[in-house]
Amino acid sequence: MRLALGISYNGQAYEGWQSQPSGRTVQDQLEAALAQFTTTPVPTVCAGRTDAGVHGLMQVVHFDTDLVREPSSWVRGTNRYLPPDIAIQWAQLVPDEFHSRFSAVARRYAYVLLQSPVRPSVDAGRVGWVFRPMDGDAIQAAAAHLLGEHDFTSFRASSCQARTPVKTMNSIRITRKGDGDTCYWRFEFEASAFLHHMIRNLMGCLIQVGQGAQPPGWMRDVLAARDRDAAAPTFSPDGLYFLGPVYDAHWGLPERTAAYDWLP
């Protein structure tokens, strides 16, 4: 039978999602815990790989198994062997044709940014940081150029393995919490798929516009250039969260976890 899991994790201590020889990845920790719970190797397939330092609120994986357990047993039993910064949130049986990656119709990310004269402390590693005030109207105007289907080569890492840089940005939602020089910004992106470092490269450009280093129309020019050198440097991974994949309703999978309510 095929099982899907929803997983949340704090990515600070890990070298990203995908398994590495060091064993210090989220996938390595998950598969080691599943092996202990089932007493057999359990290779998993994820909805979207995340980089070192990036967090996940609802990563989705699937795997095939002959072991029959209640969904709640998969959650509690596997979490027993996971480190405290990784936890399975839900487990659900799915049809054999379900695929955590290929069945996804879109993916969602959020970036949480602290604007403050003082660097983060209790939320260090969980938020990005800028110390100069930002203009929300300018950011919104710049983000509007990114909506729709585009060639996102200018925001693509050189190591990206995607077959095409053409993606469809469905929505960008930008909100601010707090007043004055100190506040939190939340940038939420939904697209058909994302390129390697795409969100962090977009954030670098949006921040330059927000701080007045570039006008909003510069984002259109960067997009049209199809050249990574035209964009801003890659921004920090600290405030980046994989909110999870979007699936058609007929799969009946959860759309959010409790961690969504914690995130600023």
Residue 153's Cα: distance from chain center in Å? Answer: 19
CA–CA separation, 19 and 197 (whole Å): 18
Q: Which of 51, 221, 227, 229 is catalytic?
A: 51
CA–CA separation, 192 and 106 (whole Å): 4
Q: Are 44 and 62 in contact (CB under 8 A)?
A: yes
How many CB atoms within 10 Å of residue 219? Answer: 25
Whether 51 is catalytic is yes
Who contacts 39 (Cβ-Cβ below 8 Å, separation ≥6)?
none
Q: Where are the alpha helices (DSSP H) in the chain?
A: 26-38, 71-79, 136-144, 198-210, 218-225, 259-262
Residue 147's Cα: distance from chain center in Å? Answer: 18
Q: Are 244 and 107 in contact (CB under 8 A)?
A: yes
Closest to 144 (Cα-Cα) out of 216, 86, 207: 216
CA–CA separation, 258 and 264 (whole Å): 13
User: What amino acid is encoded at 126 in this protein?
Assistant: R
Q: Are 10 and 55 in contact (CB under 8 A)?
A: yes
Tokens 């509007």 belong to: 144
Which residues are tagged catalytic?
51
